[in-house]
Structure 1
Amino acid sequence: MIAVTGATGQLGQRVIDHLLAKTEANNIVALARDTAKAVSLKDKGIDVRQADYSQPDTLSDALQGVDKLLLISSSEVGQRAAQHANVINAAKQAGVSLIAYTSILHADTSPLALAAEHIETEAYLKQANIPHVLLRNSWYTENYLLSVAPAIEHGAFIGCASDGQISSAPREDYAEAAAVVLTSEQPQAGKVYELAGDESYTLSELAALISEQSGKNIPYINMPEADYAKALESAGIPAPFAAILANSDTGASQGGLFDDSHTLSKLIGHPTQSVSAMIKSFL
């Protein structure tokens, strides 16, 4: 029995789709905070259970009978470590034999502030002495696609990543990798996968791709981190999240989102989707 937390989220739904291609629906448990959002999963014959990272009682019940668990990291930055610990404790109590955790690329050396809670979770997994495998995901290409329309509208793509190389991949590829690991017949406990896109690019190169495919001249404008955070705030992004995004760009300038091991494409058995193709589809 394989369970997936955050099953109604953008990554969780994709993981379940890939699991359905590899195993029967009755082998899958979808864990969701709001089960009303999981009607489509129920319709596919999947066991949907209510599970809230912040409510340990729901987790203990939801994990009964589960063999393998995909712990998709919480979206609530600042609360993640405690929430993940709740899931890990419940999994151990329920006798889960393997946890696959979605961490961040090169978490142990990452300059990104986002890495802190991932490092804490990785340490807690080790401390809990529960078999686990780390899926250290790089950036989602979709994170930057969200800026394509504003860049075209305002005539510039802004950021503070300087000439940092970014090895992103779409959620679809990361989801497929998680499904491969969860259904592998090979032992996975103790493995660490540094997952990133096959191609790497700077934001200047990304702006050039947007220019080429939109037919408009979209230069990249590199800004100080504080100014970029303020620009994001002025676009309606809450200040704390704007600060995180700006810090992540700075981290990218320091190599925090670069990896050329091609571990992801090797794991899924095909090249990761190109940024150019994703921009074309988006436009």
Structure 2
Amino acid sequence: MIVVTTPTGQIGSQVVQELLERGEGVRVIVRDPARLASEVRSRVEVVEGSHDDPAVLDTALGGADALFWLIPPGSTAPSAEAHYLGFARAGAAAVARNGVTRVVGVTSAGHGWPHPAGVLSAAFAMDEVLRSSGADYRALSLPFYMENLLGQVSVIKDQGVFAMTCAGDRLLASIATRDIASAAAELLTDPSWSGQEDLPLFGPDRLTPDQMAAIIGEELGRPVAYQRMPMDDFAAMLRSRGASEQAITDTTQMFAAQDGGIYEEDWKTARLARTDFRTWCREVLAPAYRAL
């Protein structure tokens, strides 16, 4: 039995689908079972609740062989670190209590980065806690998600631009969520590995935002430009949307670390996934663009 957290999320839902296609027994922890697709709900065991709840975790992990672990967004938490560690401490204790032997966690590339990195630092702290469970652990260590750009599809369509806070000529590693899900499913169904390791997983190309804009434009058949947003402007935008000062700090530190090269060291040894940025634009971004 394999337990999957965040089964309705962007990555977790694809992990569930991959595991079902492999014929695996799947148990999911979900806050709202109604959000599961009906064809999925009929094929999995459902434990309702949150995976920071020890009772929910004990129900889900009893008799389980492996656990897919991902922290959901926590917009109301006092800080990214408090949010990540709250989940991680509950998870590590439950893994140890229930004798789960393998855990695959979604985290960030850049372990060992010497500067504050906000949300990414919180993910690194999570990994340390999960390792304390004693289970075999693989930390899928990931760069920028290509799917982050889907939130700007309407701006691309209306204005022909997209924006981030990093320099336009700064190489940025990225990954497609479908490749994350495939890698996780491979590890969850493979009982041969052991020990605790960080596993950097990157897409096969590193591109600058300016290069990304050119590829997006070619795939959409229209000019698209990249606009760098000053960090102060980004912070002001978050503040206008009601974000707390700590959330703003956590987010701006994360993007500053990305611009500062937090992923560079892991790029040297990373396992390269299948989906390059152009393919992702053609198969994911362009259909979303046309659907507007």
Query: 2-side partners of 1:244 and 1:201: how far apart?
Result: 25
Within a 5 Å distance, the mapping from 1:131-280 to structure 2 comes to: 131-162=136-167, 163-231=169-237, 236=241, 238=243, 244-258=250-264, 259=267, 261=269, 263-265=271-273, 270-272=274-276, 274-277=279-282, 278-280=284-286
Residue in 2 that maps onto 1:21 = 21
Q: Work out the CA distance in 2 between the residues paired with 1:252 and 1:18.
A: 30
Q: Does 1:100 align with 2:104?
A: yes
Contact 1:225 1:247 in 2 (8 A): no
**TM-score (norm. length: structure 1):** 0.85
Give per-residue Cα distances to partners, 1:210-260, cap 9 Å, x unaligned.
3334444433222321113324556x5846666655443322221224525
Q: 1:248 to 1:216 in 2, by over 3 A?
A: farther
Shift of 1:178: 0.2
TM-score with structure 2 length normalisation?
Answer: 0.83
What is the Cα-based RMSD across aligned positions, in Å?
2.5
* Structure 1 spans left out of the alignment, 5+ residues: none
Partner of 1:167, secondary structure, is strand
Question: Structure 2: where are the runs of 5+ without partners?
Answer: 75-79
Residue equivalent to 2:122: 117
**Structure ranking higher in strand proportion:** 2
Match in the other structure for 2:88? 84
* CA apart distance, 1:185: 4.0
Q: How far is the alpha carbon of 1:176 from its aligned partner?
A: 0.7
CA contact (8 A) 1:181 1:188 kept: no
1:106 maps to amino acid: G
The 1:250–1:140 alpha-carbon spacing in structure 2 relative to 1, beyond 3 Å, is same
Distance apart, 1:65 and its partner CA? 0.8
Aligned sequence identity (%): 23
Alignment coverage as a number of residue pairs:
275
Query: Match for 1:142: what amino acid?
Result: E
The corresponding residue for 1:126 is 131
